[in-house]
Structure 1
Amino acid sequence: MDEEITKTRLSALQFDHVLEIGCGTGKNTRFLVTRAQHITAVDFSEEMLSIARTKILKPEVEFLQADITQKWNFGERKYDLVTFSLVLEHIENLDFIFSEASKTLKPGGHIFVSELHPFKQYAGTKARFHNGHELQELQTYQHHVSDFIHSAEKADLQLQSLQEHFDEDRQELPRLLSLIFQKI
Structure 2
Amino acid sequence: MTTPPAKPPAIAAAYDAWSAQYDHDRNPTRDLDAQVLPRVLGELRPRATLETGCGTGKNTAFLASISQSVLAVDFSSGMLAKAAQRGLPPQVRFAQCDLLQRWPADNSSIDLVSCSLVLEHLKDLSPYFEEAARVLAPGGHLWVCELHPYRQYAGSQARFAGASGDTVKVDAFTHHLSDFTAAAGRAGLHLRRLDEWCHPDESAALPRLISFLFQR
- Which category describes the TM-score, using the shorter chain as reference length? over 0.9
Shift of 1:110: 0.2
Report which of the two has the higher share of strand: 1
Correspondence for 1:108: 139
Correspondence for 1:13: 44
Shift of 1:92: 1.1
> Within 5 Å, which residues of 2 pair with 1:152-171?
152-168=184-200, 169-171=202-204
Pick aligned residue for 2:172 from 113, 118, 140: 140
The percent identity for this pair of structures is 44
1:97-143 deviations in Å (ceiling 9; x for gaps): 10001100000000000100000000000111223323211110111
> Within 5 Å, which residues of 2 pair with 1:38-57?
38-57=69-88
Is 2:100 the counterpart of 1:69?
yes
Correspondence for 1:91: 122
The 1:96–1:76 alpha-carbon spacing in structure 2 relative to 1, beyond 3 Å, is closer
Q: Is the 8 A contact 2:184 2:190 kept in 1?
A: yes
SS at match of 1:106: strand
| TM-score, length basis structure 1 | 0.95
Q: Is the 8 A contact 2:108 2:134 kept in 1?
A: no
The 1:32–1:123 alpha-carbon spacing in structure 2 relative to 1, beyond 3 Å, is same
What stretches of structure 1 of length at least 5 have no aligned partner?
none
Between the two proteins, the alignment pairs up a number of residues equal to 183
Correspondence for 2:110: 79
Cα RMSD for the two superposed structures: 1.3
What stretches of structure 2 of length at least 5 have no aligned partner?
1-31
| TM-score, length basis structure 2 | 0.81
1:130-180 deviations in Å (ceiling 9; x for gaps): 233232111101110011001001111000000000122421110000100
Is 2:68 the counterpart of 1:37?
yes
Aligned partner letter, 1:155:
A
2: distance between equivalents of 1:162 and 1:13? 17
SS at match of 1:150: helix
